[in-house]
Amino acid sequence: MSPIVLRQGKYEVVIFTRDHYPAHVHVFSADKAAKIKIHPVEVMDSWGFNAREIRQILALVEAHQSLLLAEWRKYHPS
């Protein structure tokens, strides 16, 4: 199960429960996806998002960084 930990506008932010470090989230919108490192906030990979959307996604992750790190630690405690 991969919980949606945040929804904002057209973006869904997911943490895969069987994922790997570094701490990161997956952001989905329609048929697009991105993998974003939580701290420091940076793009690890992206599929289909344009530059404007990537800036929006980075701002979203930055604005919710504490929440996303807490959620990551809940599913990946070690």
pLDDT for 1 beyond 90: no
pLDDT for 69 beyond 90: yes
pLDDT in tens, 23-59: 999 999 999 999 999 999 999 999 999 999 999 999 9
Q: Tell me the pTM.
A: 0.95
Cα(61)–Cα(24) distance, integer angstroms: 10
Comparing 16 with 78, which gets the higher pLDDT?
Answer: 16
Structural domain boundaries in the chain: 1-52
pLDDT for 70 beyond 80: yes
Q: What is the mean pLDDT of the chain?
A: 96
- In the chain, which ranges are continuous DSSP H helix? 51-63, 65-75
CA distances to 5, 52, 56, 65 from 2, rounded to whole Å, are 9, 26, 22, 18
